[in-house]
Structure 1
């Protein structure tokens, strides 16, 4: 469905005559009421939310196909009846002359109650189909008003007369609703009433009634199934919301107890020694709680457990009257006031984990197929949730293995980088020889090729160095010691002295604190920040870098190392700046905002800076506008444990 969703697809199907009658069922993860209403509004006949049970989906599809076929038959039959009525209206004079023949013609129709009314609505004739559907003989009913078939509520509302009035005004009217037979039973009727006119005006009405109780019951059952499936989906969703085993099990029994309105619902778990106990329970006040009680192996012996492993479902309506229950079992369950019970197995990876059990204590109870199937499906969902909980535990172990693997990868990266640098050095060395010995031999294009090769090798060398720095920030970090930041900045400025002179720039340094840090990483941090400030300068304006600091707040560590004062160090420049929308991007690996021909670099510098700051339990962010310079704010704890 390129470019459209399921709702629009359904709407378009329903808008076209060729596809209008195709039943549409939504199968979707959208479970909100507004989505269900929207689906039904655009023309869907059903709405199924995930997770899906294929038996239920198949049953619904089959039901709607049957209903569609019934509807087609009904439409064809209605069309035929409408045509007959129309023909009768067009041939009223001829029909009056052949009234006896018409009566004989309709007499044999048994699936429809066809009868004639006078202008007041009294019955003047009817067929054998009317006798079969209504239960009256013709002699009992002719002369009575047709409203005698309507329930009391319709009579009080005046519905029969309203139908006649509409038919008289509009020519015909259709209606559906409950009707009453002679014996007092009710059936759902599909009714069509047509006005009969001649040159003198309204002569009477023809009325056709069809018993569609079976179709109506199918629709109601479909609606019940839909409601049940929605309820099941909600329960399943609640179970799957959490992978905490205890919470999953307690949610399951609580929801089952509410759905079944059972007196007690519990989850019984089998232990490796054959014993078992209730690990989750929802029980109504007044009944004995079983939660936590341990039961011996004799309660569920090995042969019983094997039957449950094969999928056995135990459904007992009345414990005292059940023929296949041993007296000792009856005595046992009576300890907990159990009069009826429903038991389904919980199986995980082809092993019997436990049982989902529903108890009725107040009175015996017949467990319906729907309740049995619901309990079975919920047991399957509990099994899935338990499996997911086990997978979570496995994932935790995997994470630990991954950490070890990462350490090995760091070692691999170091070895690989060494192996990569060796051919680069050869490329650079032979490139230098070509330039020195064959510069005059090569033409301009050849010299350009060599220069490009050298530039690419240099960029690769720089990239490998930056990657090594980035990967070693945590694996080869030095212990934290007391670092005088003023001395670190002085060393950095000494290293950048040539660049500062070439750009005509100046660096103003205010008073800086002494902090607990890795001195080499602090040097990397400020060399990158100050170097960037000098590199990304505005044309025809000397760069100016200002470095200052202040104590801002106390930082509470999440570990037992307590709290420490937090200092904010600001590195501000008057360079080209950047758009604030790129703030997150500039701290990512290999992210550049400018072409390499404009500004050199690998896109690793600020990523290295942020990782250094985070290793020191600090934060690094920036403020800037294009053409207005940039301000980088580093927040670092002043004092930390010196063995971090």
Structure 2
């Protein structure tokens, strides 16, 4: 019906007619009718049809998406091609079915808790497990939006599901791998270190008691045996630290990098004094980090700057610059430098550019730095020239 103002209204009309006379020749004499303005309901239905048709028109663009539209009773009213591929049912087979019954949905909590959350906030995000037509279990990251009509009454639910089955499987494999790595760390720290300590102790005792009874060659053999045992012990400790970056790391918390650096310089005071190193730094920020791992990171970078020094006493400077993603730190030194061809290699476990006689170490330090920085969501790299010193850069998130 069109009003005088030009607006169109929809009416639901019921008419009841009363007749007189015989059935064969009766004529209506009076009738009664009622009408109800259903404009809002009709507009909501037309809008739903329009949006459904629009989705259908853009189905090719949404071909990869797993999209389901449900009515307020959770019955399917639209089913994308992506959903058909993922779950195995064509659209004409599922329209009108209740999604949670069809897909045997497993909710994080209960269905009632899910329904209450969606109706309260109009948005719901979490992981769901579904069973496909073939009986396979898939895990999806589900994003759902509740739409309401002009009166605020729920009328449909848009559900977009992202298949993360492979990701969840990899995460589970990684969890098992981490558990095995944790077991290795336990073995390394107990079963391997104990006999190694005993061996080193016995050789050192032999050296003390029989040093005057051994010739120069015998003393040299014992010296090499002690050094090898101690080097193996250091290697195991470094491997343990490397393996525990991800499995034993602490939750991130606001961490003052300047405070960590000051504590570290106290522990390195002997090495700093013996090498004649001068370490300076700009004001350093507070970041979201694992404090112990930040100390390990700085200890390795500063320790390397002291170790790989040139003819001049080490000059080391730390600075930080804020970026849109967080903070970019720099550790600059005046050491022996690195050739460009080795910029990537130095961050790989056990990759050394010098012999142990030239510079002692296990070849794990920079690999540990890389793993720590990556655990914090950053990256690490180096800029250097031979005999011109090096600058190690790394990025870390800012404090919230």
TM-score category, normalised to shorter length: 0.5 to 0.7
What does 1:387-466 correspond to in 2, within 5 Å? 398-417=169-188, 418-466=190-238
CA displacement at 1:401 relative to structure 2: 3.9
| Residue 578 of structure 1, aligned match among 332, 335, 338 | 338
**Hey, what does 2:291 align to over in structure 1?**
519
Query: 2 CA distance for matches of 1:293 and 1:506?
Result: 75
* Structure 2 residue 389 is matched with structure 1 residue 633: no
Which 5+ residue runs of structure 1 have no aligned equivalent? 1-245, 248-268, 270-275, 280-290, 295-350, 352-391, 556-565
**Hey, what does 2:153 align to over in structure 1?**
none
SS at match of 1:590: coil
SS at match of 1:521: helix
Query: 2 CA distance for matches of 1:575 and 1:461?
Result: 28
Query: 1 CA distance for matches of 2:215 and 2:278?
Result: 43
Query: 2 CA distance for matches of 1:407 and 1:601?
Result: 26
CA displacement at 1:407 relative to structure 2: 2.5
Query: 1 CA distance for matches of 2:93 and 2:183?
Result: 55
Query: 2 CA distance for matches of 1:457 and 1:412?
Result: 23
The verdict on how the C-alpha distance between 1:514 and 1:497 changes in structure 2, with shifts beyond 3 A counting, is same
SS at match of 1:440: helix
Deviation above 3 Å: which 4+ runs of structure 1?
291-294, 392-398
SS at match of 2:212: coil
Q: Which range is displaced more, 486-495 or 570-579?
A: 486-495
SS at match of 1:638: coil
| Residue 503 of structure 1, aligned match among 269, 275, 287 | 275
What does 1:527-546 correspond to in 2, within 5 Å? 527-539=299-311, 541-546=312-317
Contact 2:327 2:396 in 1 (8 A): yes
SS at match of 2:395: strand
Normalized against structure 1, the TM-score is what? 0.37
Larger radius of gyration: 1
SS at match of 2:178: helix
The verdict on how the C-alpha distance between 1:437 and 1:583 changes in structure 2, with shifts beyond 3 A counting, is same
The verdict on how the C-alpha distance between 1:395 and 1:549 changes in structure 2, with shifts beyond 3 A counting, is closer
**Hey, what does 1:154 align to over in structure 2?**
none
CA displacement at 1:630 relative to structure 2: 0.3
The verdict on how the C-alpha distance between 1:458 and 1:396 changes in structure 2, with shifts beyond 3 A counting, is same
Cα deviations by residue, 1:421-459 (Å, 9 ceiling, x for unpaired): 001101110011011100011111111111111111111
SS at match of 1:456: helix
CA displacement at 1:293 relative to structure 2: 6.2
SS at match of 2:213: coil
Cα deviations by residue, 1:72-125 (Å, 9 ceiling, x for unpaired): xxxxxxxxxxxxxxxxxxxxxxxxxxxxxxxxxxxxxxxxxxxxxxxxxxxxxx
Q: Which structure exhibits the higher relative contact order, with contacts defined as CA atoms closer than 8 Å and separated by 6 or more residues?
A: 2
Which 5+ residue runs of structure 2 have no aligned equivalent? 1-62, 65-83, 95-133, 135-162
Quote the RMSD (CA, aligned, Å).
2.4
Query: 1 CA distance for matches of 2:282 and 2:363?
Result: 29
Query: 1 CA distance for matches of 2:246 and 2:257?
Result: 21
What does 1:92-171 correspond to in 2, within 5 Å? none
Query: 2 CA distance for matches of 1:615 and 1:397?
Result: 19
